[in-house]
Each structure stands twice: as structure tokens, then as C-alpha cells.
Amino acid sequence: MSSAMEQLYQQVILDHAKFPHGRGLPDGVGAVGVAAADHGTCAATSHQVNPTCGDEVTLHVDVDTSGGTPVVRGVAWEGQGCSISQASTSVLHDLVVGQDLATVDRLAASFRTMLQSQGAGLADEAEEEALGDAVAFAGVSRYAARVKCALLGWVALDDALILSGARTTEDA
């Protein structure tokens, strides 16, 4: 096995793919769109497909808007796809639950930058640190065809946050 392959399929990715976190949608949140927008809370579900391989993810986000900054209260998802897309969504769950939207956006931006680095990774160590398990996906950036797999869950999160009204497209 080449070292690039070992970089791609790091143990943490294989583990997340096998035992994904946050997987399983609660009853009644499978429908795409705004699920709730009560005072102090909002939620929505997004369905994303990677048309080249048919991978799918349906991701539900629950946001607490009662405080000064909205905070992601919960992420639940269901999907089928390759180990990269499934593991990435699992890691996303661990990273963003409990974080305020500004932090979520920063993490999403760092993750995207890392995946577009063509193997170089992130220059900023603090940024890398913040990504936690997600740094394991740096190896994916060498394989252009797999970058979309790693981003599938993140695209769904972004869309769900917009749908929920927790933030507008202009904020993103």
C-alpha cells in the first residue's frame, strides 16, 4: 500500500466510517426544508447528492437562537456513500455540535481550504488544531476526485443552516 493511500484512509477515517457519529434521523425530520422555527430555536433538513457517484446525505440541523449568537444544538444525518463521505459527515457532527455559527463557519472554511490544498494541508497550525479529527482528511486533497466526497456533509450543513433561517446566505 502506498503512503498516499495510508494518508487517504487514516485509521480515524476508517473508524468514523465504520461507527459513524450522529447517524440516524429522529422521526419526522426526514423531509427536506424548514422543520421548525419557534421562538428561540430553528431547524431544517437538507438533502445533497454527489451526481458523479450517487452518494447521498440527508442532514438535519437544530439551532438555538435564544442567545446573542445562534448555537448549533444538534446534527443528525442519514446517508449512503463511500467511506470518505460517511466519515466526513460523522466528524462534522463531532466538530460543530455545541458551537456558535461563527465558529462553525470558520471550521467549514478551514476544512474547505485544507481539501483544496492538493496535499499541502493548512499553513496555520492553530487552524489545523481546531479541526481536530477532521485534519485526517488532508490526505483526500491529493485525490481531486474525492474532494467532493469529503465535502458532501458540509454542503448539506451549509444548506440546512440557510434553510433554517439561522443565518442568511449573505452571512455565509
Partner 1 sequence: MTSTLEPLASTLSAAELAAVRADFPLLERTLRDGRPLVYLDSGATSQKPEVVLDAEQDFYTRRNAAVHRGAHQLAEEATHAFEDARARVAGFVGATPGELVWTSNATAAINLVAYAMSNATAGRGGQAARRFALAPGDEIVVTESEHHANLVPWQELAARTGATLRWIGVDDDGRLRTDELATVVTERTRVLAFTHASNVTGAVTPVEAFVARAREVGALTVLDACQSVPHLPVDLGALGVDFAAFSGHKMYGPTGVGALYGRRELLEAMPPVTTGGSMVEVVTMEATTYAPPPQRFEAGTQMVSQAVALGCAATYLSELGMPAVAAHERHLAGLLLGAVASVPGVRVIGPTDTRERLAAVSFVVDGVHAHDVGQVLDDAGVAVRVGHHCAQPLHRRFGVAATARASAGVYTTDDDVAAFREALAGVRAFFGLGGATTDGRPA
Name the minimum Å distance from CB 123 to partner 1: 25
Q: Could you tell me where the DSSP H helices lie in 19-143?
A: 83-96, 101-115, 125-130
Query: What residues numbered 107-166 form the site for partner 1, per CB under 8 A?
Result: 143, 146, 149
Min dist CB 52 to partner 1, Å, is: 6
Query: Contact between 14 and partner 1 (CB under 8 A)?
Result: yes
Q: Which is nearer to partner 1, 1 or 126 (CB)?
A: 1
d(CA 36, CA 13): 33
Contact mark string toward partner 1, 46..65, x via CB under 8 A = ------xxxxx---------
43 in Cβ contact with 63 (< 8 Å): yes
Q: How far is the CB of 16 from partner 1 (least distance, A)?
A: 13
Residues that bind partner 1 (CB under 8 A): 1-2, 4-5, 8-9, 14, 18, 52-56, 80-84, 143, 146, 149
